[in-house]
Chain A
């Protein structure tokens, strides 16, 4: 009885279980091999470096569950950052006014992706590949190769912690949004629509699911999240540059897939993505403090991804 329940749990959540175990292993090994790793202040402080990737992992999970992909998010970060910094420093628009506008700009850029994907039926991989170049390019047109400073009052958000904790503000935001996204995917109509669209888009349409609308909203949300990340990054680095966040999309997708979300859509949990993201963070932190060279770190993450995919495939025999 119990074993059959475990069996069923395993069948349903093998990838999540695999990454959870890997996370615990990574933590134990890092702590055992490198005592300097076990330092809460350091761990939390260093984790803030990955906040934006962590946030994007959440929205990318929804996108991939819906059977799509969004490569353009990191370019949206740069572009929105460029817009905000330009409006602030060249047109003197107050920064507090621009903060809430960032997700709006990002959302608009995401909606453009959504339009091409949902209304023109173009493959999201290629559409967002194109907008990835386009948005990055527009950021570059705006800023050239120079940096624009953000006001000092608004920088350094990562150094503000919750009282009596090591929790830096970006981490607090991330943890909050983890819960929000978990609720969004697993507890709302929107989330259900996302899942069924990933499972079978045609049947979703026949079932009265507003597929196109769901996708446009989803890409808009993805863009808006990138907008939020853009503000965090601006505050963290104090400058806007066109080349910010470049290449992070691969880390984000790696985390999502590592967390057991099917790249073909229809299956995935926020829990899996969160654990996978933590796993990557822990592995990188562990290797970083142990002085492992950057290139080995890159290789290790690739191997980790393969390991997780192969493990959960082999053990469940899922097609």
Chain B
């Protein structure tokens, strides 16, 4: 096996990927070495996952080259990647619920003996692998009964069973408990010592500093630096990732005062979140910060009537609001731009204007009859106002880039003329230009009196836009910052990161 300074197992040169008009990764060159744990760092949408997926054959590059052991290779699909000893472990493992743990490891290449599945050898090999990984888990158990962490172990074991030399862990730790994370760290260190090359994609600084050897930092689809972990500091990495002065582009007006428009008192929905209380004034942007899994999205869903909290009250304009469905929430002037745009926000095969007008149909109709010409006119206006890049409004949504899709989803909600806007990761996965435009829009709306709850993993975004920031940890609000007192360090600390809090050493999503 090659040492840290040996020839790279894999090298990419000039790797680029674009979806339609949007380039999500440009000219990326990295080297993956044996025995090294290599972190890909960056904000959401910086291109780190894209890079990993290109290497793992999930995406095919628009340009550039991948060399494996010095030979150029073309990887058409994940199967070819595994044949080249490359495996990707996704955040949410793809398990086959009714197959046993052992089969999940070996699916597609079960050991056979005279044409039959050799269960003895299957279980034996699985047991061996799991033992090697230090996982105490019955290989006979059906996968449906396993935790996420255990199922990730199955993916990892599957990769190892293929003698994968390059393991890409895409935000694998995001949904794990601290105990599970430390178990994983031990395993990864052991694998690295055995000569595997590991790519670790994550956000938590202390994981990166305790685990990784080297870091490649991406920003806005480009590689902006490479550091040996031993020679750098979290601050240095953060600066590289963020890359710009916080709040440089948008200017918020004076902090609004006045009576709260939305008040939340003691909202609880165990085990997701507990005793959540806050308020938003007219024209105010309140940021909700916290780690993935801290309960941010769940709170937004509960406010919007998608789930029913077990305790607590919601007041709109000082009056208690009964919210049992999104319909009810919309009746109180709320709108929610959801986290997962493709699954929850967009209707890809139908036209732009049908998407944009959907949530306002009660208003864009008369006695149930559609007023499509009005819808089209209004959509045309939104397309102009939000600078949606499209050929025409009859175009199906799937022909648009992610950022433009997001703008259409926002247009759908703005069309409802909401008073309270719940934005869940409004700029995830969209390009820089579109991002700035969305930021400007959010400020404009706030200036016009919109009460906004901004959920974001993008720290600069939240710092730049929010008048106040609530920090959520494990389903509870642990701190509230005013605009003036909010610094990246303070927010990160409150979310439970680098100060080394012993109980839950989780890092802020940068």
Contacts and interface: CB of A to CB of B under 8 A. Distances in A.
Interface in B317-375: 325-327, 329-330, 336, 338, 343-350, 354, 358-359, 361-362, 365, 368-370
B370 A189 contact: yes
Given A207-B326, A208-B330, A192 B346 contact: no
B476 interface: no
Q: On chain A, which size bracket covers the interface?
A: 20 to 34
B412 interface: yes
User: Chain A contact residues: over half helix, strand or loop, or mixed?
Assistant: helix
A267 B343 CA distance: 18
Given A189-B368, A190-B368, A200 B358 contact: no
B344 A202 contact: yes
A107 to B, nearest CB: 18
B486 interface: no
A209 B345 CA distance: 12
A293 B140 CA distance: 57
Interface in A203-256: 203-210
A315 interface: no
Contacts of B393: none
Given A189-B370, A207-B326, A202 B343 contact: yes
A199 B358 CA distance: 13
Given A192-B354, A199-B349, A200-B347, A206 B326 contact: yes
A202 B326 CA distance: 12
A196 B345 CA distance: 11
A192 B370 contact: yes
B457 to A, nearest CB: 19
B361 A203 contact: no
A206 B344 contact: yes
Given A192-B358, A206-B345, A208-B326, A199 B350 contact: yes
A313 interface: no
Interface residues of B, number: 27
A119 interface: no
B236 to A, nearest CB: 39
B358 A209 contact: yes
A286 interface: no
Nearest to A197: B347
User: Chain B contact residues: over half helix, strand or loop, or mixed?
Assistant: mixed
B306 interface: yes
A183 B358 CA distance: 17
Contacts of B412: 207
Nearest to A186: B370
B349 to A, nearest CB: 6
A208 B368 contact: no
Nearest to A191: B370
A205 B326 contact: yes
A188 interface: yes
Interface in A235-282: 266-267
A187 interface: yes
B233 to A, nearest CB: 41
A113 interface: no
Given A195-B350, A196-B358, A206 B368 contact: no
A190 B354 CA distance: 13
A80 to B, nearest CB: 26
Contacts of A202: 343-344
Of A195, A196, A203, A208, most buried by chain B (CB within 10 Å of CB) is A208
Of A195, A203, A267, most buried by chain B (CB within 10 Å of CB) is A203
A261 to B, nearest CB: 14
Interface of B: 306, 325-327, 329-330, 336, 338, 343-350, 354, 358-359, 361-362, 365, 368-370, 412, 416
5 contacts: A188-B369, A189-B362, A192-B354, A204-B347, A207-B412
Given A187-B369, A199-B347, A205-B326, 14 more contacts: A188-B369, A189-B365, A195-B350, A196-B358, A199-B349, A200-B343, A200-B348, A203-B347, A206-B326, A206-B344, A207-B412, A208-B330, A209-B359, A210-B327
